Structures are given as structure tokens and as C-alpha cells.
């Protein structure tokens, strides 16, 4: 059963890659903007869930703080997409 799921997941991923490769530069930029805006919406929802008493301005302030913090973490190499391999 797990092998079937993995095969299906791999096929879905391969299809997404093929479709992405057919996009023009403009379409890729539009897609990136849509994905980023969607991520911001999810982050706002998370802030509202964590701090239900905050108003819209407070949510935006916290969102900007979190984005700045993520940028700092990335710039300082604290987070890496690839785990360090044990030698």
C-alpha cells in the first residue's frame, strides 16, 4: 500500500514539475506572488489563532516582525534546507 502511495506522490510531483517548466517567466513570477500571498494569509491566521485579542494592526506588526526574524535566521545560516551530514 505504501509503495502505491509513494508511486502516486512521485507521479503527482513529476506532473507539477512538467507543468511548471512550461510556464513563462511572467507566469512563474505571478505564481510566486500568489504563493507568497497565500503564505502570508496562513501566517496571519496563525497569529490570530495565537493572539485572538489582537486587532488587524497588531497582526500586521507581528507578521512583519516574524518576516524580519525569518530573514535574520536565513541570513545567519541558522536554518539550512539540507541537514548536516554526520561524518
**What DSSP assignment string belongs to 66-78?**
HHHHHHHHHHTT-
CA dist 15 to 20, 31, 51, 69, Å? 9, 16, 39, 34
User: Tens digit of pLDDT for each residue in 29-83?
Assistant: 999 999 999 999 999 999 999 999 999 999 999 999 999 999 998 888 876 665 5
Give the pLDDT score at 43: 97
How many residues appear in the chain?
Answer: 87
* Overall pTM surpassing 0.85 (yes/no): no
Report d(CA 9, CA 38) in Å as an integer.
Answer: 23
Report d(CA 60, CA 31) in Å as an integer.
Answer: 23
In the three-class reduction of DSSP (H, G, I as helix; E, B as strand; rest coil), residue 23 is classed as coil
Amino acid at each position: 500500500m505504501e509503495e502505491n502511495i509513494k508511486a502516486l506522490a512521485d507521479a503527482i510531483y513529476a506532473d507539477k514539475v512538467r507543468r511548471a517548466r512550461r510556464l513563462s517567466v511572467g507566469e512563474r513570477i505571478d505564481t510566486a506572488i500568489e504563493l507568497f500571498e497565500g503564505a502570508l494569509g496562513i501566517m496571519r491566521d496563525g497569529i490570530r489563532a495565537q493572539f485572538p485579542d489582537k486587532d488587524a494592526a497588531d497582526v500586521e506588526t507581528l507578521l512583519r516582525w516574524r518576516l524580519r526574524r525569518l530573514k535574520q535566521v536565513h541570513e545567519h545560516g541558522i536554518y539550512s534546507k539540507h541537514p548536516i551530514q554526520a561524518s
